[in-house]
């Protein structure tokens, strides 16, 4: 199974590497007020991917915090419940209180 996973990872790497080699041409991003940015196409795609990942992570942070807070309150409530005392263990047997058994 590990071999298959590593082959899959290698295939993805080589596909992305071929994509980067095929898109070495310079591309222009036109911003507002006649500002522009010139960079290789692969860097522009990489920057867009990184910004998308960062935006997704920042969008999920409030939800993560809410779930973390709910989990903490549930754990606190679970540990605040009164503990039921276990029944007392019988006293250890002392020799001489019971009649001897036959054959021992």
pLDDT in tens, 9-19: 999 888 988 88
Instruction: Please report, for residues 13, 22, 35, the alpha-carbon distance to residue 8 in angstroms, rounded to integers and kept in the order given.
Output: 9, 21, 41
List the domain range (segments joined by +) for residue 12. Answer: 2-79
43 contacts 20 by C-beta, under 8 angstroms? no
pLDDT tens-digit series, residues 19-72: 878 877 888 888 889 898 898 888 888 889 899 999 999 999 999 899 988 888
Q: Decide which of 87 and 21 is more confident.
A: 21
Residue 53 lies in a domain: yes
Q: Residue 29: which of 38, 41, 20, 16 has the closest Cα?
A: 38
Residue 8 lies in a domain: yes
Residue 90 lies in a domain: no
- Alpha-carbon distance of 103 to 87, in angstroms, equals 34
Is the pLDDT assigned to residue 97 strictly greater than 70?
no
Residue 59 lies in a domain: yes
Residue 12 lies in a domain: yes
Confidence tier at 103 by pLDDT (50, 70, 90): low
User: How many domains, in total, are found in the chain?
Assistant: 1
């Amino acid at each position: 199974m590990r071999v298959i996973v590593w082959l899959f990872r290698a295939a993805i790497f080589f596909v992305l590497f071929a994509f980067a080699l095929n898109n070495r041409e310079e591309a222009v991003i036109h911003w507002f007020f006649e500002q522009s940015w010139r960079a290789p196409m692969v860097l522009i795609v990489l920057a867009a991917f990184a910004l998308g990942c960062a935006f997704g992570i920042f969008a999920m942070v409030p939800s993560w915090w809410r779930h973390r807070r709910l989990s903490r309150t549930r754990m606190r409530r679970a540990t605040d419940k009164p503990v039921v005392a276990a029944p007392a263990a019988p006293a250890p047997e002392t020799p001489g209180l019971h009649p001897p058994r036959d054959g021992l």
